[in-house]
A and B are shown apart, each in its own frame.
Chain A
């Protein structure tokens, strides 16, 4: 078994290779699987490429099983290592022997993709069904090799059959692995080759880059076959020879016939295709005839600029536009910008609210095209910082659409470009610590519940893998035992391995030529959905056009807000025309009165607001970006706050850094700043800085991270920075890796923050209705949104058969303002079609009685019970319980007995007001009558529990007790084990801080209770109020019917 110490790469040092390169036989490996042949290959593509290069191979072919999913990664690595890469695949037709094919030219590549697409599309997700006839149809432009080891008998017939298809482009692969019968096989193969006149060529059937991976290979095989390593039996290779072998070894093995080695390089020489040829395949039909994409884009941009600046285009903007257009022309991005513009145009025509963000989105051109609504005057736009000539990568624009209507946009794309030119990008699901522990544990034969416990003990991905031993020890599993060491070693190796392809949330790839000739398309798990075999990084690396169409709940809410405003006599607004820089809005935000506001409604954001005191737009950009793992892990938040409040002097080590950091007072807060800092202060090239960012995101331990860490810290200390500062910057980049939040995204988000805050501030009723109709979204449940709106004087009315629509609506409240009428969407379990039928029938006149209602609607007993339980018959003069009594009787025969109104039995108990509240919670998740805690108040008072609202005025640093429903439990990875809880009573909310030792002592209550009493010291600091808890007491039974409403650890 492997040593627990990290092992070195089993690649001979370069001098030896150089020597053997001079003497040894030239060789190209033609049959090699990566870990993109899921759970078959046991090495990353780049590991294979680097090793092949170090071994002095002439070329390496990547031939995954029915797939080219791993080739882009291999391509990138091969470019760097200077190795020739062949693209191919291992095909397994259902009616013939397996076959390895290699691409000769672009047309052949297109055919291979088409072929794999056909096989993948006619099989369930993850599988591929090909026939020999399919392969014959696409054989042109491909070389083929038949692995002879896969043929037990009748090898000659198989070879002849394939020879008829491929002619002289067919080879027989001789693959020797030091088995028991090598000599005999060798003899047989030579006979077959001579008899069929199909030349023999040496190959390796490679499954991993170095021999030490055979342990992991055994494990992934066991995972694939859903068994344990011990029970693999014949499915295990007898030795670890399926790795990339040195050329000396090969010369020894194939010494009897060196021609077989030579032929491998001949094939490699004749394959002239490179993935580079796929670049710039952008759709072109968007520009009208007679124009080039660039001339059309220029025209659109200037026209847009005139609309944006009716008073005349400012000089600064004019210069910027000219500059950006110049860059776009140079980089040939015009078609890309046009594509994005077209999507946004479509959405606007349909009244779908959308907004672009991302590096390229923060340009004046995008502002003029209407892709973004952030006035470039507001933020300092520097286009090159996002789209650089030297980095040579595709521009990045994500477009957010209303979450309930994004599907329309996707349909438009499919309609416009056709299914054969548009597709969803894949998302490669990789092994995370938890899934790796789970699968490896099972493969090693650990019992189900041990695996479960171990896996649960490994927290999500913020955790570092070095913590594995201590995590294991906590669960009573000895990490130093043999099994423990094996588990740790294998888990570390498996981390970052791809498991399967899934569908990216919104990435669309668009091409000029048929998409299936660019990359194979396969079935996704959702029926009817397809996904390409590459993820967004792959497409990025090749410069293929992709647009991320994402769904954003707040955009739905804002659009609904705008619509409601307009429909009820307000102004007609858009994202760009909402009155800007309104001091009232900022004042509201400074007081952390932001329930429901985009992004800044979380508890962490709310506690930041009074400290940061946003006064202008750019402050919001910072606010959005600052409460993130990056700045927190990098310990950048407090320095920034100190500098902002003037408690610390703003200094810069040198002018170059000042340029990077001046707008954030010398503290790097954004991803771009950290990257720039790596360049300016540590001497990284832009390419390296970008590599660093990518390396952070992936779960890899190839040593890249350590190398970059060293380089960054050395570079920065050499330039006169403190090591501490350098380390913090590195930590921050590390934090960004998993949760990247660049300024270019924050800038667009900040606009939504402002607009939603503006709505809340000036039109709270509209805001509430819009939020309720866009559920589920955001941080708070309808109950809290309603409670907050009521605090701001909004009247909220209950659901009623004579007043409610499916959506919540606005009704005049009699004093010139609007009240919110709750809609049926809030009633749990009420089908939408029933609710809509109800509204339709009501158009003929209001329902006068319960009997009238049942007769006219003919609803089933189940639907009537839902309505009755929700207390929706008040306007018919029927209370909740009598209505329910009648509804229950309806049985399955609607209408039959509708007329016999039965009297309520006298023995049926009346509902008491507190019970009504409980039933409100059960049916709609909130109550307008009161709070479950209202009836408890006298008892609570007797127990010296203070109402939550009083915490704001009580003397701090003294002990108090509060009680409430638990709304939320959170333990951010950055908070050193501290848990944040929020309680709600009838007067408001109270924020608790529970330290680990307190949590441990009151674990049961802390973790499980739906309601509790907390005792602790009151802390008040810069407007932030917390109770530092030292005692918890269970109160669940007092409100048990309400159950738990808490959103825990999301």
Chain B
């Protein structure tokens, strides 16, 4: 059996964002350095939008449509999920072998009788997709090729009785044979348009003129040659769990169970030659399920480490009442970093980094990701943008600035989060500061250096245009202050303590 989801990318988006149904929709992708339409809904097509058209042309045709970037990888994945879903009807469902698949093949041998015959089965499948709001065309036939041909080009919802393929197929266009474009145009040039036209020709005259694929496809459709498809298989999830009849309230008992489960889980992970990266635990009480998610900096199989992390986390996140069921599942696996050791030398650096990772994992699991931060230097001239605190686990921005010691020496130790307005007495309007008032006291400037001019940030917020001075007050305090070149006002921005 074949089910075709016409305009699958469009249908998939509808399923994810139903609101898109309200207006015409078209998808585009970049090809040959231009943005081209890859799929569109029937309504858009009625308005003149065509697949292959450039995006700008399409917009000229139809401006009030929604244009979304196409994601063929997501389309394929979603179709694969549908194939798994369809396995409620038969265990063998797979994707068609195409660059951008839109159809599912089903091997239904031995299944229809469960629904009381082919017709009720067919109806059940049809109703199922309809209830899921998918538009499909189904065809049931003896061969994969015939089912595909009829689903795409035959009458809707066709149930071809066994042995009747030949009659139905003969009337279908040659495109129903899944042939390449070049072959089709060559056939067209000879005035051959339907499958029946080709069947009437001497078989031996075909391959040399139209390629071997024509015969192969013909034979596949008519069952002269076998055709297979690969059924989708679900990757078995790594889950371990324990269930009790009576709720357990003893924390220690739960901790022991956790240890055991983790041991089992890690053993399964180890079989796959991977390290565990992210894990999810679920504690089911009588009233609710408490989830716990943990992850480590580097994938690892270190049981002690994981146990410690779980213990630390549960310390912070106790659950009320007794537990009926404990489940642990691996959410993400990762490549295990194994390094060949040297024979005698102790690999301090690696050990140290491992130790740091372990510490970070421990702290993070106890305090939360938002509490364990690291400093990132950003290549931004504006001082308050030059440094950012980010969660330890967050990957570095694509260009972290190198640390230039000299530049940081010219920056104050203590930078105010926000520049603070300050009163200043310069002699000349654009000149250096002579006297400053700060927190009610007035200071004489005994030494100053600058200006360092910083002008940046216009694309971000407002244009920062500042003249910074490093200033020493008469009480010895060294401060960093600037004159805002836009307003002329002075601001204190930091202290060199």
Chain B residues near A881: list those with CB within 8 A. Answer: 190-191
User: Are B452 and A884 within 8 A (Cβ)?
Assistant: no
User: Are B459 and A889 within 8 A (Cβ)?
Assistant: no
A905 at the interface (CB under 8 A from B): yes
User: Are A448 and B48 within 8 A (Cβ)?
Assistant: no
Chain A residues near B222: list those with CB within 8 A. Answer: none
Chain B residues near A1007: list those with CB within 8 A. Answer: 48, 57, 60-61
The contact sample of 17 A-B pairs, CB cut-off 8 A, is A2-B458, A178-B452, A178-B453, A180-B411, A181-B407, A182-B452, A218-B458, A218-B459, A453-B55, A905-B200, A905-B201, A908-B191, A908-B192, A908-B201, A909-B197, A910-B191, A1003-B48
User: Are A444 and B459 within 8 A (Cβ)?
Assistant: yes
A182 to B450, CA, bound (A): 8
Known contacts A1-B458, A449-B67, A881-B190: A239-B381 contact under CB 8 Å? yes
A1 to B464, CA, bound (A): 9
B25: min CB distance to chain A, Å: 14
A892-931 contacts to B, CB under 8 A, are 902, 905, 907-911, 915, 919
A728 to B67, CA, bound (A): 44
| A-contact bits for B194-207, CB 8 A (1 contact / 0 none) | 00010011100100
| A-contact bits for B130-147, CB 8 A (1 contact / 0 none) | 000000000000000000
A238 to B209, CA, bound (A): 69
User: Are A449 and B55 within 8 A (Cβ)?
Assistant: yes
Contact residues on B (Cβ < 8 Å of other chain), bracket: 35 or more
A526 at the interface (CB under 8 A from B): no
A1008 at the interface (CB under 8 A from B): yes
Known contacts A233-B380, A453-B59, A884-B189: A1004-B47 contact under CB 8 Å? yes
User: Are B209 and A889 within 8 A (Cβ)?
Assistant: yes
Known contacts A449-B35, A869-B189, A1008-B61: A230-B460 contact under CB 8 Å? yes
User: Are A915 and B191 within 8 A (Cβ)?
Assistant: yes
| B-contact bits for A198-236, CB 8 A (1 contact / 0 none) | 000000000000000011001000000000011101101
A183 to chain B: closest residue by CB: B449
A781 at the interface (CB under 8 A from B): no
A474 to B337, CA, bound (A): 55
Chain A residues near B452: list those with CB within 8 A. Answer: 178-180, 182
B64 to chain A: closest residue by CB: A476
Extra contacts, 10 of them, besides A453-B56, A869-B189 (Cβ < 8 A), are A180-B452, A184-B406, A231-B399, A233-B379, A238-B456, A486-B459, A881-B190, A884-B190, A915-B191, A1007-B57
B69 at the interface (CB under 8 A from A): yes
| A-contact bits for B49-86, CB 8 A (1 contact / 0 none) | 01000011101110000010100000000000000000
User: Are A238 and B381 within 8 A (Cβ)?
Assistant: yes
Report the 6 A-B pairs with minimum CB-CB distance, sorted nearest first.
A1004-B48, A233-B379, A907-B200, A238-B381, A888-B209, A178-B453
A971 at the interface (CB under 8 A from B): no
User: Are A905 and B205 within 8 A (Cβ)?
Assistant: yes
A231 to B406, CA, bound (A): 23
A811 at the interface (CB under 8 A from B): no
Interchain CB contact (< 8 A) of A214 among B379, B410, B455: B455
Interchain CB contact (< 8 A) of B456 among A239, A448, A919: A239
A817 at the interface (CB under 8 A from B): no
Chain A residues near B497: list those with CB within 8 A. Answer: none
B30 at the interface (CB under 8 A from A): yes
User: Are A911 and B69 within 8 A (Cβ)?
Assistant: no
Known contacts A888-B210, A889-B208, A905-B201: A234-B186 contact under CB 8 Å? no
A652 at the interface (CB under 8 A from B): no
A229 to B460, CA, bound (A): 9
Known contacts A181-B410, A236-B456, A888-B186: A449-B69 contact under CB 8 Å? yes
Number of interface residues of A (CB under 8 A): 52
A891 at the interface (CB under 8 A from B): yes
A240 at the interface (CB under 8 A from B): yes
Chain B residues near A888: list those with CB within 8 A. Answer: 186, 190, 208-210
B398 to chain A: closest residue by CB: A231
A1003 to B60, CA, bound (A): 9
A1049: min CB distance to chain B, Å: 11
| B-contact bits for A869-892, CB 8 A (1 contact / 0 none) | 100000000000100110011110
B187 to chain A: closest residue by CB: A888
B399 to chain A: closest residue by CB: A233
A868 to chain B: closest residue by CB: B189
A902 to B200, CA, bound (A): 16
B419 at the interface (CB under 8 A from A): no
A438: min CB distance to chain B, Å: 12
| B-contact bits for A1-28, CB 8 A (1 contact / 0 none) | 1100000000000000000000000000
A944: min CB distance to chain B, Å: 26
User: Are A241 and B453 within 8 A (Cβ)?
Assistant: yes
A969: min CB distance to chain B, Å: 13
A915 to B193, CA, bound (A): 14
A456 at the interface (CB under 8 A from B): yes
A179 to B455, CA, bound (A): 11
| B-contact bits for A425-465, CB 8 A (1 contact / 0 none) | 00000000000000000001100110011001000000000
Known contacts A449-B69, A888-B210: A1-B462 contact under CB 8 Å? yes
Known contacts A218-B459, A230-B460, A449-B67: A907-B197 contact under CB 8 Å? yes
Chain A residues near B399: list those with CB within 8 A. Answer: 231, 233-234
A230 to B453, CA, bound (A): 20
A179 to B209, CA, bound (A): 75
User: Are B458 and A448 within 8 A (Cβ)?
Assistant: no
A167 to B57, CA, bound (A): 63
